[in-house]
Amino acid sequence: MMPTRHLAVAGLLAMLSLTAAARDDVGTYPIADVMNNAEYAARLAGVKFYFGDQAHPDVARSFGEYQSNKKTNAFNKSDKEACEWAFLSALLSFHERALAEGGDAIVDIRGYYKKIPFSSATHFQCGAGATMAGVTLKGTVVKLK
């Protein structure tokens, strides 16, 4: 009976160590580092992005609020690098949605990682772990006047 108990304790300790090793750090990163990257900017051309409470031209038509939840492989990347890639992926999703709906901008873009609102005109929020990084954004597709 003693060896079975030792096995159970060893199994429990192994599970606890895996849980302790899991990482889900939430960080904030500058939006400008992505938007000022020439390669990324070229991919986002044709749609304007307004973050947080950034002022924007008047709206001629709203096509509704949308959410984009993007994840990327973070293996062998810095958190910042992985998070910027996930952020770009979320913006590309909004870009496609705006063009499909007939819009030319996304306004009121804010974070919604793990359903927790985060609004900033200068930074985005990202969750990074040992193998994955993720960004969740909400924003409204519009046609500007």
pLDDT at 19 over 80: no
Tell me, what DSSP letter sits at residue 115? Answer: G
Ordered by where they begin, the domains of the chain are 23-144 (3.30.110.70)
Residue 38 three-state SS = helix
Helix (H) or strand (E) holding 67: strand 59-73
Averaged pLDDT for residues 51-60: 98
Owner of token pair 């927790």:
116
pLDDT at 20 over 70: no
Q: Residue 123 is encoded by which pair of tokens?
A: 């930074």
Among the residue ranges 11-15, 74-78, 89-93, the one predicted with the least confidence is: 11-15
One-character DSSP codes across 88-107: HHHHHHHHHHHHHHT--EEE
Averaged pLDDT for residues 35-56: 97
Distance CA 32, CA 80 (A): 13
87-109 tens-digit pLDDT: 999 999 999 999 999 999 999 99
- Taken as a whole, the chain contains a residue count of 145
The average confidence (pLDDT) of the chain is: 90
Q: Which has the closest alpha carbon to 70: 53, 61, 83?
A: 83
pLDDT at 17 over 80: no
Distance CA 116, CA 113 (A): 6
Q: Which has the closest alpha carbon to 118: 39, 51, 46, 37?
A: 51
- Split at pLDDT 50, 70, 90, the class of 16 is very low
Question: Percent of the chain, pLDDT > 70?
Answer: 86
pLDDT at 78 over 90: yes
- Split at pLDDT 50, 70, 90, the class of 6 is low
- Split at pLDDT 50, 70, 90, the class of 21 is low
> What Rg do the C-alpha atoms of the chain give, in angstroms?
20
